[in-house]
Amino acid sequence: MYKLNYLNYADAKDVSIEKELSIDPLSTNVEYEKLSSDLTSKFDFSHLHTFSFSKEGFLGLMLELKEDIAVSLGESEALIQAAKLYETLGFKVTYIDIKHNGEIDYKDVESIKEEYFFVSPYIIDTFVRVDLKKIKELFCGTVISNISATLDASLCDIAYFDVYKLSGYCTHSVLLHDGLFEEQNIASIDTLGVKLISDALNKKRENITCKKEFIEALKESLKDDFFFFVGADATLDNVVHFGLKGIKARQVIRNLSLSNIFVTNGEGCSLGLSRPSRIIQEMGYTELQSRQALSLSFFKDLDSEEIQFVASKIAKSYRQIKALHG
């Protein structure tokens, strides 16, 4: 099996949770306190909060802020939906655009007047890097970031994780902060989510070096039918994002799955939905064009033989679908 949708759909493992991690309101909860302390200290924060990675969960966080906010349009669908709901409650939300090349519009960041800015180290779907160091130079407020792909909290003021992308299970996610949010009711802390995220963070990540060779193999196999929506060098090191002319990506995805090759055309927040990538459309492409996008992500290096095999399978699948739908 070639799991090339790793950043969206994690390689889930069997779950075993010790009963000592259950929360007891009349106990010191030693095991949970250690787990929580290890996680906060790992990223140099003082407090931990669990919340639902959904529009309702993000809306709850925004309501605790009680302030107007800014949001990058490169954030997850759940966050964007929450921001729109937040607006209906009378708060102002400033949306920072994505340019045609897939990058966040840094020029607009400088003009943000709000105290809080939701912006992550990468753009959802395309995985184009966001320069948080530049963001911090242009914006003097509080930066709130999803660091699930980079695991780097050094350039944000509040960090959170997508437990589904890290573990393959949908429980509550973890947000790390320095006392900005109210202390959480002990009965509402999701120790399962904390444990799953902690376990995922402790897994060793392999250094990926096959990206360039993989792109060359795709170009050779697909010729002029292969194109980039975003520059290959602009994305995370373990991601390849591209388009295939004249077909819907989901047709390729289904075809490849029969050969145990798993790729994706959108973020996990759209899993099971028929909507194409919102991000590609934010960049100025049409809905039809956005349906041509494919994302591949690697959690381990592929050797040359594996690269040629997967690239040829993608090309063969593409040509079969083109011939069928001519």
Answer yes or no: is pLDDT of 267 > 70. no
Distance, in Å, from the CA atom of 109 to the CA atom of 94, rounded to the nearest integer, reads 10
Tokens of 138: 């242009």
Least confident of 5-14, 30-39, 100-109: 5-14
Least confident of 69-73, 119-123, 295-299: 295-299
Answer yes or no: is pLDDT of 128 > 70. yes
* Residues 59-84: tens digit of each pLDDT: 999 999 999 999 999 999 999 999 99
Tokens of 268: 């996990």
* Band of residue 121 on the pLDDT scale cut at 50, 70, 90: very high
Instruction: List Cα–Cα distances, 324 to 207, 242, 289, 316, 321, in angstroms.
Output: 39, 22, 19, 12, 5
What pLDDT sits at residue 273? 45
Does the domain at residues 19-201 carry the CATH identifier 3.40.640.10? yes
> By three-state DSSP, how is residue 6 classified?
coil
The whole-number average pLDDT for the span 294-304 is 91
Distance, in Å, from the CA atom of 68 to the CA atom of 22, rounded to the nearest integer, reads 37
What pLDDT sits at residue 17? 82
What pLDDT sits at residue 131? 97
Answer yes or no: is pLDDT of 271 > 80. no
Q: What angle do CA 99, 264, 314 make, to 5 degrees?
A: 105
Residue extents of the structural domains in the chain: 19-201, 207-325
Least confident of 82-96, 167-181, 249-263: 249-263
* Band of residue 282 on the pLDDT scale cut at 50, 70, 90: very high
Answer yes or no: is pLDDT of 196 > 80. yes
Q: What angle do CA 116, 118, 124 make, to 5 degrees?
A: 175
* Band of residue 19 on the pLDDT scale cut at 50, 70, 90: confident
The whole-number average pLDDT for the span 148-152 is 93
What pLDDT sits at residue 199? 92
Mean pLDDT for the chain? 91
What pLDDT sits at residue 142? 98
Instruction: List Cα–Cα distances, 245 to 99, 141, 227, 231, in angstroms.
Output: 22, 42, 8, 17
Which amino acid would we find at residue 29? N
Least confident of 58-67, 109-118, 267-276: 267-276
Least confident of 22-26, 87-91, 225-229: 22-26
Answer yes or no: is pLDDT of 272 > 70. no
The whole-number average pLDDT for the span 241-270 is 84
Phi, psi dihedrals of residue 174, rounded to the nearest 5°: -110, 135
Q: Which of 173, 176, 170, 171 is nearest to 143 (CA)?
A: 176
What CATH number matches the domain at 207-325, 2.40.50.140, 3.40.50.300, 3.40.50.10380, 3.90.1150.10? 3.90.1150.10
* Interhelix angle 249-257/304-325, nearest 10 degrees: 120
Answer yes or no: is pLDDT of 12 > 70. yes
Which amino acid would we find at residue 271? L
Q: Are 39 and 46 in contact (CB under 8 A)?
A: no
What pLDDT sits at residue 139? 97
